[in-house]
Structure 1
């Protein structure tokens, strides 16, 4: 008999009733150190007082009016995002998946309105994840994402991650309009695109008149120690997908774009009932006020260096369990020799939460507010989990 909640998740056998910073408290009172942060969503941890105040104050005033009217908090958040990024304009969504849908529409509409309607193909890469909508799964293209859901939305050219020759050839096609890439793949196993490769993508897009789209749903909003991950490379995209951390736990996303890239999106071409609502934008403004502060980002970088150093030591201590550390900032992955889900499960017994990913990787995506003491506790708990797994391997 099918359960009342559609059984599309393999859930861990516990539930949480309260969150405090980097900690989640289960209904039996156990305190878990949360290195998943709701899959990079709770960028400022659980129940951050500034976010609680922003949401509570707004909830007592006004929840929803729709985009038929002016929404001052939405305008304020758009102004902040434009001021802090490459973008000239922003559209607000409820999720990364919705941001993907608009990014795809925006790129194709740009070329349609520019008199090049045959330019509809978007280049994407193996290991990518762009959400679970029809466009999102078609963009990723993997069997795991697409099997049973055909016919798939056409217009995506799938290339192997790192195949420069195939990329050069594909970009020259007269039907290609854009390149879509995650500066750091999340679901694909914490795989950063090297800075020189991001620069190469920008050069390639410019050489062929393509739009460059960055999916920073998971790697953005301070996660890598810059406000957005692509900033490390010194180049900018034409369109960027944002979500997860921007709402700090409240459903909120955005598409940021240059004026040129967004030129086709005129009145009536796109919309959202809830996107940019007063509640979401009140929280998003509070998030931006904290994370966009250079002093805050400097602390993220310091803590990221500390965590990575300690993780390298952990890998060296358990050579039969771990292979190495990868990633950037506080978006780190442990490449495993043992089965990654076994290590995640062993972590549960040590009251620590991590997130599995492809390529046999464990993702470590803690709140950006994690403390040095909590980093030390995380290493101790991961060490105990690894020792349990190593014992079973022996």
Structure 2
């Protein structure tokens, strides 16, 4: 169904969903699935979350979209709420993570050239990173698999260094560097949390050279790792943070937050037709309020630790590592992760793969322990077969 009408550039599975409730999805045949994927960390409040459904419905009756030549009441109020919660000074709203990262790259280069001359253009990123699917953001991405010859030529002005390599910090930054751009937990790269000491040293080296620090929190932001922003846990206080995925609970939205040296974009520098429209901002406001409720972020940390400790307790030979932060979890296995993904899908559990031989679990942040246990039981059953084989 749909295979002949929708371009299958995602390698989609032959499953068609029709509805969801909480952390459970139902396909057109009535089969139910535990959702450990959440639209790849997008549906942070699960499916059919009543306050979100009501807010979107109410807003649709008032106003869905206006041209960004004007402001909307909900857009202004949400921006104020987001900035107050995160400690940033201003925000650009877009539609996606790639668009937010494009804005960050433009911002960094303009700031660099205004304050360091025409040579200051280079964006330093990390190996194993992922920053989007546009030509600029895949160029920034530090994985060769995303750089096929069929998309060449790629853009100049990007270079990568290895995370954790202290020696590289001595030569990575100079008077041509505009920014250091990094994910606090490298999601697509295999769910690798950055080492805090190294991240702080990298940020210090970048700033010493006159560059700014950008944290790509498209996947880690909005409570995914147990704090509103994952960069809070690293203590690097970035000048720019990009957000998307979970920011509006499933409604397309991205954001580029800036403070201090980041405030350089002027009218015409970067725009978005649909960015920050009233419908998206209303949804985003609900998400923010829910995440900031007492105990919510603590519960994310506790559930993430519960999942990791449970998987470790299995002591399965095929499980080589379990890592992550909050409800962003990577299970590295010795077997074929895609085969495990397919078998678990057949058994009614959704997740994705990432990096090399990694099962990535990014369930809704409000998932219950009942669904966690049900999903983990299926994964264990499949991995036990993998261990035997």
Where do residues 264-343 of structure 1 align in structure 2 (5 Å cutoff)? 264-314=264-314, 316=315, 318-319=316-317, 321-343=318-340
Equivalent position of 1:102 in the other structure: 103
Where do residues 177-196 of structure 1 align in structure 2 (5 Å cutoff)? 177-196=178-197
DSSP-derived class of the 2:353 partner: strand
Alpha-carbon displacement from aligned partner over 1:331-375 (angstroms, at most 9, x marks no partner): 001000111111111101220011100121000101001111112
Task: Check whether the contact 1:225–1:329 (CA below 8 A) recurs between aligned residues.
Answer: yes
Equivalent position of 1:25 in the other structure: 26
What is the alpha-carbon distance in structure 2 between the residues aligned to residue 143 and residue 226 of structure 1?
31
Change in Cα spacing, 1:210 to 1:95, as seen in structure 2 (3 Å) is same
Alpha-carbon displacement from aligned partner over 1:92-138 (angstroms, at most 9, x marks no partner): 01000101110000000112222522100010111111000011111
Equivalent position of 1:376 in the other structure: 373
Task: Check whether the contact 1:106–1:261 (CA below 8 A) recurs between aligned residues.
Answer: yes
Matched, 1:166 2:163: no
DSSP-derived class of the 1:169 partner: coil
Task: Check whether the contact 1:333–1:363 (CA below 8 A) recurs between aligned residues.
Answer: yes
What is the alpha-carbon distance in structure 1 between the residues aligned to residue 253 and residue 322 of structure 2?
30
Q: What's the RMSD between the two structures over aligned residues?
A: 1.4
Task: Check whether the contact 1:342–1:389 (CA below 8 A) recurs between aligned residues.
Answer: no
What is the alpha-carbon distance in structure 1 between the residues aligned to residue 313 and residue 51 of structure 2?
35
**For structure 2, which runs of at least 5 residues remain unmatched after alignment?**
none
Change in Cα spacing, 1:250 to 1:323, as seen in structure 2 (3 Å) is same
Instruction: Quote the offset at 1:141 in angstroms.
Output: 4.6
What is the alpha-carbon distance in structure 2 between the residues aligned to residue 60 and residue 204 of structure 1?
50
Identify the match of residue 356 of structure 1 among 345, 353, 356.
Answer: 353
What is the alpha-carbon distance in structure 2 between the residues aligned to residue 47 and residue 111 of structure 1?
44
Task: Check whether the contact 1:350–1:384 (CA below 8 A) recurs between aligned residues.
Answer: no
Matched, 1:54 2:59: no
What is the alpha-carbon distance in structure 2 between the residues aligned to residue 115 and residue 195 of structure 1?
28
DSSP-derived class of the 1:13 partner: coil
What is the alpha-carbon distance in structure 2 between the residues aligned to residue 353 and residue 224 of structure 1?
20
After TM superposition, the structure 1 stretch with the greater mean CA deviation from structure 2, 2-11 or 241-250, is 2-11
Where do residues 109-120 of structure 1 align in structure 2 (5 Å cutoff)? 109-114=110-115, 116-120=117-121
Report how many residues are paired: 386
What is the alpha-carbon distance in structure 1 between the residues aligned to residue 37 and residue 22 of structure 2?
12
Equivalent position of 1:154 in the other structure: 156
Equivalent position of 1:73 in the other structure: 74
Equivalent position of 1:390 in the other structure: 387
What is the alpha-carbon distance in structure 1 between the residues aligned to residue 59 and residue 194 of structure 2?
39
After TM superposition, the structure 1 stretch with the greater mean CA deviation from structure 2, 246-255 or 376-385, is 376-385
What is the alpha-carbon distance in structure 2 between the residues aligned to residue 338 and residue 109 of structure 1?
46
After TM superposition, the structure 1 stretch with the greater mean CA deviation from structure 2, 273-282 or 367-376, is 367-376
Change in Cα spacing, 1:310 to 1:296, as seen in structure 2 (3 Å) is same
Instruction: Quote the offset at 1:60 in angstroms.
Output: 1.0
Alpha-carbon displacement from aligned partner over 1:45-81 (angstroms, at most 9, x marks no partner): 1111111011000011111111111111111121112
What is the alpha-carbon distance in structure 1 between the residues aligned to residue 268 and residue 207 of structure 2?
29
Equivalent position of 2:65 in the other structure: 64
With normalisation by structure 2, the TM-score equals 0.96
Matched, 1:4 2:16: no
Task: Check whether the contact 1:89–1:259 (CA below 8 A) recurs between aligned residues.
Answer: no
Task: Check whether the contact 2:351–2:361 (CA below 8 A) recurs between aligned residues.
Answer: yes
What is the alpha-carbon distance in structure 2 between the residues aligned to residue 168 and residue 115 of structure 1?
20
**For structure 1, which runs of at least 5 residues remain unmatched after alignment?**
none
Where do residues 217-236 of structure 1 align in structure 2 (5 Å cutoff)? 217-236=218-237
After TM superposition, the structure 1 stretch with the greater mean CA deviation from structure 2, 242-251 or 152-161, is 152-161
What is the alpha-carbon distance in structure 2 between the residues aligned to residue 202 and residue 170 of structure 1?
11
Equivalent position of 2:262 in the other structure: 261
